[in-house]
Amino acid sequence: MDIKQLEYFVQVVDAGSFTRAAMVLEMTQPSLSRQIRLLEVELHEHLLYRNGRGVEPTEAGRRLLEHARVVLARLATARQEIHELKAVPRGKIVVGFPPRIAHLLAPSLVRGFRQRLPGAALTVTEGLSVSLREWLHEGRVDVALLYDPAPGETLDYEPVFQEELMLVGCVPGPGERLPESLPVDALADYPLILPCEPNTIRAVVDAACRRRGIALDIVAEVNAVHTMVALAESGEGYALLSASAIGPQRRAGTLATARVHSPSMHNNLIMCTARLQPLTRLTRETMQLLRSLDIRTLLENS
């Protein structure tokens, strides 16, 4: 039994005439009559009889009409629900951020998510890039922003932002100020506070110095960025960080910075998804929200 045949049958009964029904359906009367006849042949019953005013359903036709209306109503409901599902994705998505930027980006993401995806639920989780990478593989996170993830074939990468690393230290007294810029080779002259391995900033610094045979004076290894900032601010050493990591201290005038060149070093923020996980419409919409964030402004004003 064809759904279209049921629709034609209901339309003929409602119109009370093949001629009027054919006009509404925008088809020829012979074609409409043939479809109804095919339905009668399949059911082995006459469904309509003609009278002086048009057509009326037979007893079998009235029974079919009841069921046809239910079937067509349910089909219309299903179509509407599927349309709404496409228009407003539902479900739950987990987004992962590194701790240093989570508090800066999460408010804008949540605000945009509630406006554009009101039927879905968002979870924001924090973790180091190494941990977020593992969680993507395990399916615990759907999309994540990672700093300089190691290359591999299991994740899809999309660069979203790049920050320059600078030498950071406390504001010194007269004659002891940091230069405006310095080459990578000069880092050997500064007592450094660097993250422990594995860490993306540490990997960038180590790679740049290893290529040039530079031996660094590392006075402390610290995992947390805010602790590195505190140690640099107290004068215990110098850290290599991005401007967004020390926004409040720069504005307060408690930390000075020097650009590093020859070469410059960068922290790259990459949007990642697991290649083996299907990209649902909710995931794609959330990724588009992340792309739309003005990350530069949010970090520079941090």
Q: What is the pLDDT of residues 240-252, one digit of tens each?
A: 998 878 888 888 8
Position 149 confidence tier, pLDDT thresholds 50, 70, 90: confident
Out of 142-146, 148-152, 159-163, pick the least confident. 148-152
Report pLDDT digits (tens) over 20-35: 999 999 999 999 999 9
CATH architecture of 163-266: 3-Layer(aba) Sandwich (3.40)
What DSSP designation does 197 have? S
- Tell me if 151 sits within 8 A of 268, measured CB to CB: no
| Element holding 133 (H helix, E strand) | helix 129-138
Position 84 confidence tier, pLDDT thresholds 50, 70, 90: low
Percent of the chain with pLDDT over 70: 96
Class of domain 91-160+268-300: alpha beta
Q: Say what the pLDDT of residue 279 is.
A: 83
Per-residue burial over 262-298, b = 16 or more CB atoms within 10 Å of its CB, e = otherwise = eeebebbbbbbbbeebeeebbbebbbebbeebebeeb
Domain covering 3-87, topology: Arc Repressor Mutant, subunit A (1.10.10)
Q: Say what the pLDDT of residue 176 is.
A: 63
Report pLDDT digits (tens) over 165-223: 999 999 875 556 789 899 999 999 999 999 988 788 888 899 899 999 999 999 999 98
| Higher local confidence (pLDDT), 287 or 150 | 287
Position 148 confidence tier, pLDDT thresholds 50, 70, 90: confident
**Local structure of 127: helix, strand or coil:** coil
- Looking only at the bridges linking them, the beta strands covering 91-97 and 181-183 are unpaired
CATH code 3.40.190.10 region(s) in the chain? 91-160+268-300, 163-266
Q: Closest Cα to residue 243, out of 167, 186, 184, 180?
A: 167
CA distance 123 to 142: 10
